[in-house]
Amino acid sequence: MNPVIKTVLQRLGLGLLTLFAVSVIIFSTLELLPGGFAQAILGQGATPETVANINKSLGLDRPAVTRYFEWVGGAVQGEFGISFASAGSGWGSSNARHVSDIIAPRLYNTFFLAAMTAIIAVPIALALGLLCALYRNSWFDRIANALTLTTIASPEFFVAYILVFFLAVKLRWFPPLSTISDTTSFWEHIYKAVLPSLTLTLVIIAHMMRMTRASVISLLSSPYIEMAKLKGLTPKQVILRHALPNAWAPIATVIAFNLAYLVVGVVVVEVVFTYPGIGQLMVDSVSKRDMPVVQACALIFAATYILLNLLADIVSIVTNPRLLHPK
Amino acid sequence: MTQTQTETRVIKARRSYVQNVWRILKTAPPTAIFGMVVIAIYLFCALFAPWIAPYGEADIVGKSYQVSSSEHWLGTDQIGRDTLSRILFGARNTIGIALLTVLISFCIGGVLGIYAAVTRGWLDQILSRLVDVLMSIPVLIFALMLLTMMGKSVWNLVLILAVLDSTRVFRLARNTSLNIVVQDFVEAAKLRGEGMRWIVLREIVPNILPPLIAEFGLRFCFVFLTIAALSFLGVGIQPPTADWGSMVAESKTLITFGRPQPLIPAGAIALLTVAVNFVVDWFLYQTSGLRDEK
Amino acid sequence: MTEFEHNLAKAKKAVSMGKLSRRDFMAFTMASGMTLSASQMMFASAARAEPKKGGHFRAGIGHGSTTDTFDPAHFASGMDFAWGKGLSGAPLVRINPKGAVVPYLAESIEQSNGAKTWVFKIRKGVTFHNGKTLTADDVIGTINYHNGPDSKSPGKAYLTNIAAMKADGPNTVIFDLKGPDAGFPANLANYQFPILSITDGKPDVSGMGAGPYILDGFEPGVRVHFKRNPNAFIPGNFDEVTQLAILDPAARTNAYLAGEVDFIDRADLKTIDMLKAAPNTELYNVSGWEQLTAPMFTNTAPFDKVEVRQALKWAINRQDLVDKILFGYGKAGNDNGLAATMQYATVPEPVYTYDPEKAKSLLKKAGMEGLKVDLSAADAAFAGSVDAALLMAEHAKAAGITINVVREPNDGYWSNVWLKKPWSHCYWGGRPTADAMFSVAMAAEAPWNDTKWKNPRFNELLVAARGETDDPKRAAMYAEMQQILHDDGGWMTLMNTNYVGAMSNKLGHGDFNADLDHDGGYMYDRWWFV
């Protein structure tokens, strides 16, 4: 069988198992958190009576195992349930919102921001990485390294505030808030997402750049590079034609890791810019113990991670003839 | 290639360990030296914070938000604690916590990773799947949930971050070891009848050390950042313990008005990260075997 | 702008809002060398600047979450309460800036039978946003929604005294109470009680109401948008209103400074001086009804000794707490249980100040020198709780008291710490009446009696005051209750907070309400663009 197809099938199978395991872990963690949905919603105003009423109406008074398998039963049919927060409302179910309705617009926003950042960050990181490898140990290399390290070494919110201070409050080029609604047009969405996207770019660029540089440099002592040099190729040709093609595997892994981060790890940036993404939704729902929403978010995150890693593996196989045509 | 053919080879006494280290240090590029000096200063502050800090970590010694003066070089914070003292104690806490976290995660991840690669049995399968699962849950949110569950003590924070981080170390250790295990020299050692312990310690560990150390440098810095992000979400290190990440989070609104206070702890983190990575870069370069023509 | 011009602009604005009298305004302008007639003309033109219609008011709110809902039984955050008080919803009554109850949806309110029967006449011809006419049945259905046996509404606590309700024609509702309550209507001003449209016995909780603004877009945890209700019985001033949930204080400040919003609440007090100095900014600073407290269990050692309670009250430097935790934007508490701006609030003597010597001698009297106590704190109780606890420990040292600060987890604080640990931190938002405050937090049988305090005289007065329709007599009873609480209770008000925000000086406003933030939740229909 073609190794690519084989890997894909194998990984997808394992991926499903992983998703199942993730759902068990998330569910049991939520169960173990102190306080339940009712206490979280009612806060200081909770009385045993109102708590019991809410638990009863949501079926939270039943054993955890029953509830879990009920949820799984729905999930395998693509039915992720109704958000507790909306289902909690009294007599009418007019307010009840399906998890998918809550998540869909936010998921779009999250992917939008991730894609926008990736389009900016990945090419810059690759180019900088290659330049640093080419001019390794020059002042250019050192300065580029120090600068990008400084940006990843600063907490995300710090980078964000500094950008806001200069670009939004002082210069007023971009809005300090990225409130996106369903009426926001595509171009307006881009305009409003500039600052969060710039923040994330600064945060992820160093990791990818350094990996590009390191994996290219690590190949430079190989005999075949030595050979290419002896042939009289310029350093640029050596790096682009000979080193880079063999360095793709680790680079792809790091890019996949960072793209996954753009989807799953940006809750802080979402909070700073009030960008309605999925990270904030998950944190909110965890604090409210809104199990169906938390589960759905966790599964989306896990699936993103699994798929991106699969993609990285495919890249490593395709770029490596030894893996593509096994003996 | 300055060595001339006519040079007569004199048998020298073997250099001592100290001499070797010194010889390597002398060849260090300026960035690495800068990095080492910075790290040394930080370690000094961390170790001797109680003696060099003018005030206690949580002592309220003045009014809120005093500007810098001869009494309080860096001013005071929101409830009148001395900022310089908190920065110095912050070095102790931040570096201590990060170091501890990374060491634990390398112990767990490294040992299990190598073991999994060497034995390759059902244990490897189980561990690898478990790591897959843990890695596919967002670290920040999972840490937040676990901290809520277990309580927000520093020890829990260290333990949770260490376990979550060890997944990445496990992967790296396992994958790099796998490449080594199949090499001829390991095969030869096995045929020679060397024990597992010997093979791991003498053949595998030395060969996988460079990537692990590089990872160590990065992980070490990411721990600060994760703690800072957790502080931002309200579950990081709890007051009055000073750590740089929380200190940035506490004074973040000041940036809005262009005030420099948050730059001090943020700069402290950034400088250390840059320093650590400069040293790691140099180390990697040393061990890569790459000798550029000069 | 010269300083004079700047001051003149300020004075003009004060006039337009009725804050500066003609005499004071003219004294100011003439002292600056203006002629009498010019000054008079200027006053006239400034005073004419009354509420104007129009504009899009955007408020940045430090509350809101993805679980926000328009169901009044589940209003939880500061994002929600304005909806019930006068954005899309309309309650029967409102609170005015003086803290008194005024009719809103109700036209008139009358009591009889010694404050046991209350008759609410409802405005005629009020329609909901969907065109349905509001009747007495809607009122009764709404109250039942909160007060029914299956109710999950925290609002139930305010309605327990209701024995029966009946409609008398489409525009009259009669409430029969179990016991007399002279302050009953104030309960219905609470944000949980906008009148909902009832169809087939079911309330509409989709955000549709009879209020001055119509819901026009809602993304939970992000933003809510309203447009003016052209058929409102008392219309709002703005054409459009947007509430943005901006939880991060720094982001809120940025949004305000960049002109994205016209008002922000919960300003970061650390940087308040810089925010105050921002161009075209007026500080929104209102002494509110919220109290930050440290309740002691009066039935648990060592707090069962009244000397110990008093010693602790003297051993805390509350002004220092106000200065450091609230940055001066608040008042030191005096343990009378009511915020100073509430009706019937008094200042019982002796006022608790920081007096470690007195605390020492009280402890000596009780034979409890060298007292060691645990204090549970978490920022879930109130922002800065842990810092405040550390400061308290520092203060108490001088009186020889060791306070061991126990940092509790934020999650589950209200279920696991408050009402469970003998000494903890807590906050109390405003209650509409002195009676509501006392009944809910200090009455012997109250579920939230967080000091486990059972004082017979206090409880006797509580019932008596409720039935007393003669106002001065009632006031005297409440004064006595506050004195008892101050001397004997386990209640310790560390601080009364201010609501602090920033508003663009393009916004016009009258006197502010103190019962809740956001001008009592009424800013959306009271304020205007000048």
> From the centroid of its chain, how far is CA A108?
13
- pLDDT (tens digit per residue) in C424-483: 999 888 777 888 889 888 988 887 889 999 999 999 999 999 888 888 999 999 999 999
The ipTM estimated for the assembled molecules is 0.80
Contact B213, A141 (CB under 8 A): no
Tally A–B CB contacts below 8 A: 141
Verify whether the Cβ–Cβ distance B257 to C271 is below 8 Å: yes
Contact A268, C248 (CB under 8 A): no
Verify whether the Cβ–Cβ distance C244 to A281 is below 8 Å: no
The verdict on residue B21 lying in a domain is: no
Distance from CA of B142 to the nearest CA of C (A): 15
- Tell me how crowded residue C450 is: count the other CB atoms within 10 A of its CB: 23
What residue spans in chain C does CATH classification 3.10.105.10 cover? 291-497
Distance from CA of B69 to the nearest CA of C (A): 19
What residue spans in chain C does CATH classification 3.90.76.10 cover? 90-203
End-to-end CA distance of chain C: 20
**Residues of B in Cβ contact (< 8 Å) with C268:** 253
Choose among A268, A286, A305: nearest Cβ to B229.
Answer: A268
The pLDDT value recorded for residue B271 is: 86
Verify whether the Cβ–Cβ distance B149 to A283 is below 8 Å: no
The verdict on residue B197 lying in a domain is: yes
Q: Which of B154, B257, B259, B261 to mutate to test the interface with C (most CBs of C within 10 A)?
A: B257
Choose among B233, B290, B291: nearest Cβ to A283.
Answer: B233
Tally A–C CB contacts below 8 A: 157
The verdict on residue A264 lying in a domain is: yes
- Tell me how crowded residue A232 is: count the other CB atoms within 10 A of its CB: 7
A142 touches chain B (CB under 8 A): yes
Average pLDDT rounded to a whole number, residues A61-90? 76
Verify whether the Cβ–Cβ distance B253 to C325 is below 8 Å: no
Residue C494: helix, strand or coil by DSSP? strand
Closest C-alpha to C247, from A157, A174, A192: A157
The verdict on residue A53 lying in a domain is: no
The pLDDT value recorded for residue C93 is: 94
Report how many domains make up chain B.
Answer: 1
Verify whether the Cβ–Cβ distance C274 to B238 is below 8 Å: no
pLDDT mean by block of 10 residues, chain C; 530 residues = 60 59 61 59 54 91 80 77 86 89 92 91 93 93 88 80 92 93 89 91 87 89 90 92 88 88 89 86 90 93 92 94 89 91 89 94 91 89 87 92 85 79 89 85 85 93 89 93 94 93 92 88 91
Verify whether the Cβ–Cβ distance A22 to B137 is below 8 Å: yes
- Tokens describing residue A163: 């950008």
A146 touches chain B (CB under 8 A): yes
H/E element holding A208?
helix A194-219
The alpha carbon dihedral of C398, C403, C404, C409 has a sign of negative
**Residues of B in Cβ contact (< 8 Å) with A212:** none
**Which positions 93-152 of B are in contact with A (Cβ < 8 Å)?**
129, 132-133, 135-142, 144-146, 148-149
The verdict on residue B275 lying in a domain is: yes
The pLDDT value recorded for residue C7 is: 65
Q: Which domain holds residue A294?
A: 104-324
Verify whether the Cβ–Cβ distance A284 to C411 is below 8 Å: no
Choose among C250, C324, C409: nearest Cβ to B151.
Answer: C409
Pick the CATH number of C211-288+498-529 from 3.40.190.10, 3.40.50.10070, 2.30.42.10, 3.30.530.20: 3.40.190.10
- Tell me how crowded residue C251 is: count the other CB atoms within 10 A of its CB: 27
Verify whether the Cβ–Cβ distance C271 to B78 is below 8 Å: no
Distance from CA of A34 to the nearest CA of B (A): 6
The contacts of residue C61 (CB under 8 Å, 6+ apart) are C78, C79, C243, C244, C245, C246, C264, C265, C518
Is a pLDDT exceeding 50 seen at residue A198? yes
Rounded distance, CA B56 to CA B268, Å? Answer: 19
Choose among A146, A154, A302: nearest Cβ to B269.
Answer: A154
Rounded distance, CA B190 to CA B46, Å? Answer: 45
Verify whether the Cβ–Cβ distance C260 to A57 is below 8 Å: no
Rounded distance, CA C345 to CA C435, Å? Answer: 11
Average pLDDT rounded to a whole number, residues A69-78? 82
Average pLDDT rounded to a whole number, residues A178-200? 85
Contact C360, C368 (CB under 8 A): no
**Residues of B in Cβ contact (< 8 Å) with A146:** 31, 274, 278
H/E element holding C161?
none
Q: Please indicate, yes or no, whether the overall pTM of this predicted structure exceeds 0.95.
A: no
What is the DSSP annotation of C47-79? HT-------EEEEEES---TT--S-GGG--STT
- C291-497: CATH class: alpha beta
Contact C206, C188 (CB under 8 A): no
Distance from CA of C66 to the nearest CA of A (A): 6
Report how many domains make up chain A.
Answer: 1
**Residues of A in Cβ contact (< 8 Å) with C151:** 50, 53, 90
Average pLDDT rounded to a whole number, residues A233-244? 82
Average pLDDT rounded to a whole number, residues A267-294? 85
Closest C-alpha to C529, from C16, C96, C7: C16
The verdict on residue A90 lying in a domain is: no
Closest C-alpha to B224, from B94, B38, B49, B57: B94
The pLDDT value recorded for residue A92 is: 37
The verdict on residue A69 lying in a domain is: no
The verdict on residue A84 lying in a domain is: no
Q: Which of B34, B132, B212 to mutate to test the interface with A (most CBs of A within 10 A)?
A: B132
CATH number of the domain that residue B227 is part of: 1.10.3720.10
Q: What is the pLDDT along chain B (294 residues), one digit of tens a residue?
A: 444 455 555 666 667 777 777 877 777 777 888 888 988 988 888 888 778 777 777 676 776 666 777 777 777 776 677 878 888 888 888 888 888 999 999 999 988 988 888 887 888 888 888 888 888 888 888 888 888 888 777 888 899 999 998 998 898 888 888 877 777 888 888 888 888 788 888 888 887 887 787 778 778 878 878 888 887 777 767 666 777 877 887 777 787 777 777 788 888 888 888 888 888 878 777 776 555 443
Q: Which of C146, C192, C222, C242 to mutate to test the interface with A (most CBs of A within 10 A)?
A: C222
B227 touches chain A (CB under 8 A): no
The pLDDT value recorded for residue C248 is: 82
Rounded distance, CA C265 to CA A70, Å? Answer: 43
CA dihedral A114, A118, A119, A123 (to 10 degrees): 180
Distance from CA of A44 to the nearest CA of C (A): 5
Fold of C90-203: Dipeptide-binding Protein; domain 1 (3.90.76)
Q: Which domain holds residue B280?
A: 31-60+76-292
